[in-house]
Amino acid sequence: MAGISLPGTTLLVLCGTPGCGKSTFASRYFRETMIVSSDQCRFLVSDSETNMAASREAFKLFRFTIERRLSLGRFTVADSTAITRQSRGELLRIGRKYGFNITLLIFNIPEDVCLARNAGRERRVVRSVIAKMRQMLQRTLRDAHNEGFDNVYIITEGDLNNPAFRINIR
Ligand code: ATP
Ligand code: MG
C-alpha cells in the first residue's frame, strides 16, 4: 500500500496488539493533539501508564476526549488496542453521532516482531498478554469488515518500513 487518503472529519481507530507500533506510527504521521491515547489517559488519571486498575476511569477520559474533539469537527486518532468488538463498538457509536468517517487501521504485524519490540522498550507488557491478543486480532481481521466502519485498512510490516508511505488528510 502506497498510502491512505482520509477526509478531515475522520475518526481513525488504530487496532493491534501491544508492541505492534501503533503509537510510533501515530506520532510519525499526526500532530500530537490529534492523537488520543488510552495509555496517556491512564497516566493522566492515575500517574501511571501501566496502572490496569485505572482502566475504567482512563477509558471514560479516552472516550470523553475523543467525543469533545469530534464535536468540534477535529480529525482524531484513537490510539488503543481496540482489540475487542465492544471497544470498537463504543468508538463507532461516538463517530456516528458526529457524522464522522470512521476508519479502522489494523496493524497485522507478526507476533515475534511485536514480542521483540515489546521486550526492547521501557513499558513492557507481559508476553502471554500479547499471545492472547494475537488470537483476538485474528478474529478482528476476520470480522471487522462487517462491524460498520466506513473503511478498514490492514497495515503490514512492509508499510511501517516504507519511507514512501503517506497519509493524506483531505
Ligand atoms: P501499546 O499497545 O503497548 O501501546 P504500541 O502498538 O503503541 O504498543 P509502540 O510503543 O509504538 O507500540 O512500539 C513498541 C516498540 O517498538 C517501541 O519501542 C518502538 O520504538 C518500537 N517500534 C515501533 N515501530 C517500529 C518500527 N517500525 N521499526 C522498529 N521499531 C519500532
Ligand atoms: Mg501505544
Neighbours of 115 (CB within 10 A): 18
pLDDT higher than 90, residue 64:
yes
Of the chain, the percentage scoring pLDDT greater than 70 comes to 100
Q: Quote the distance between the C-alpha of residue 82 and its chain's center.
A: 6
pLDDT higher than 90, residue 138:
yes
Give the residue among 114, 101, 119, 123 at the shortest CA–CA distance from 170: 101
Which of 14, 17, 24 maximizes ligand 1 atoms within 8 Å of its Cβ, making it the mutation to test the pocket? 24
For position 131, what pLDDT does the model report?
Answer: 93
Tell me the pairing of strands 166-169 and 3-6.
Answer: parallel
Give the residue among 109, 102, 106 at the shortest CA–CA distance from 143: 106
Contact 62, 41 (CB under 8 A): yes
Rounded to whole angstroms, how far apart are CA atoms 112 and 42? 27
Q: Is 18 in the pocket of ligand 1 (CB under 6 A)?
A: yes
Could you give the C-alpha distances from 52 to 22, 42, 43, 47, 56, in angstroms and in order?
Answer: 19, 8, 11, 12, 9
Q: Average pLDDT of 124-148?
A: 95
Rounded to whole angstroms, how far apart are CA atoms 74 and 66? 9
Contact 99, 9 (CB under 8 A): yes
Ligand 1 atom index nearest CA of 120: 18
Query: What pTM did the predictor assign?
Result: 0.97
Separation of first and last alpha carbons in the chain:
18
Rounded to whole angstroms, how far apart are CA atoms 89 and 147? 8
For position 154, what pLDDT does the model report?
Answer: 98
Q: Average pLDDT of 44-64?
A: 96
- CA-closest residue to ligand 1 atom 22: 21
31: pLDDT confidence band, cut at 50, 70 and 90?
very high
pLDDT higher than 90, residue 89:
yes
Which of 13, 23, 37, 105 maximizes ligand 1 atoms within 8 Å of its Cβ, making it the mutation to test the pocket? 23
Q: Is 87 in the pocket of ligand 1 (CB under 6 A)?
A: no
